[in-house]
Amino acid sequence: MAAPYALTSLFGVERTPASAGYFRQPHPLGEIAWQFLENQRERWGSGFSSRLSGLFGGDGDWAKEELCFGFMVENGYNAVYRLWSRAWLVTK
């Protein structure tokens, strides 16, 4: 759970009813990350999905688009993390 101080002072999150969920995170990081991965795979497909085909000019043989993920520790002391996905052009 991110410290409220970190969210308000370091990242500019205002305490409003809409942002209340940011200050209360009842799920462990591993569970959140796994759910994010599953949701993105559902949306975009896994491996060399046809839903990503051609997004970056891949030819479908030598160069293909694949769903990739990233994780970054924004602030380890205050437990603020960033997780993202994007299509990436990979080659043979």
pLDDT in 10s for each residue of the chain, 92 residues: 556 777 777 778 787 877 776 667 777 888 989 999 999 999 888 777 778 877 777 777 788 888 889 999 988 887 778 899 988 888 87
State residue 1's pLDDT score: 53
What separation in angstroms does the CA of 19 have from each of 13, 27, 31, 74?
A: 8, 16, 21, 19
Output the pTM of the full model: 0.65
**CA angle (90, 67, 46) in 5-degree steps:** 115
* Within a domain: 48: yes
Domain extent at residue 82: 28-91
State residue 27's pLDDT score: 79
State residue 40's pLDDT score: 92
- Residues in a beta bridge with 19: none
* Within a domain: 85: yes
State residue 7's pLDDT score: 73
Q: How many domains does the chain have?
A: 1
Q: Which runs of E-coded beta strand occur in the chain?
A: 63-75, 80-91
State residue 58's pLDDT score: 76
* Within a domain: 68: yes
Looking at residue 37, its amino acid is: L
* Within a domain: 76: yes
